[in-house]
Amino acid sequence: MNQEYSGSGDPAKSLELLWGLQSRPTRGPKPALTVDAIVEAGLKIADAEGLAAMSMRRVADELGVGAMTLYRYVPGKGELIDVMLDTVYGELPRREVDGDWRAKLDEVARENRRLYLNHPWLLQVATSRPPLGPNLMAKYEYELRSVEGIGLTDVEMDAAIALVNGYVHGAVRSAIEAAQVIQRSGITDKQWWLAHEPLLEKIGDAAKFPLAARVGSTVGQEFDAPYDSEHSFEFGLARVLDGIAALLRSR
List the single range of 33-37, 140-144, 187-191 with lowest mean pLDDT. 187-191
**Average pLDDT value for residue range 118-141:** 95
| Statement: residue 107 has pLDDT above 70 | yes
Residue 17 and residue 79 in contact, taking contact as beta carbons nearer than 8 Å:
yes
**Average pLDDT value for residue range 72-81:** 96
- The residues, ordered by sequence, that sit 6+ positions from 178 with a Cβ below 8 Å of its Cβ are 189, 227, 229
- How far, rounded to the nearest angstrom, does the alpha carbon of residue 130 sit from its chain's CA centroid? 13
Share of the chain above pLDDT 70, in %: 96
Q: How high is the pLDDT of residue 179?
A: 87
Helices 101-118 and 77-89 cross at an angle (nearest 10°) of 130
**Average pLDDT value for residue range 80-105:** 96
Chain segment 179-207, per-residue pLDDT in tens? 888 888 999 888 887 887 777 777 767 88
DSSP code of residue 209:
S
| Statement: residue 233 has pLDDT above 90 | yes
Q: How high is the pLDDT of residue 24?
A: 63
Across 130-164, b (16+ Cβ under 10 Å) vs e yields bbbbebbeebbebbeebbeebebeeebbeebbebb
| Statement: residue 29 has pLDDT above 70 | no
Across the chain, mean pLDDT equals: 92
Q: How high is the pLDDT of residue 54?
A: 97
Q: How high is the pLDDT of residue 23?
A: 63
Pairing between strand 4-5 and 125-126? parallel
- The vertex-92 CA angle with 88 and 95, nearest 5°, equals 170
Q: Which of 84, 85, 76, 74 is nearest to 9 (CA)?
A: 76
**Average pLDDT value for residue range 236-251:** 97
Share of the chain above pLDDT 90, in %: 74
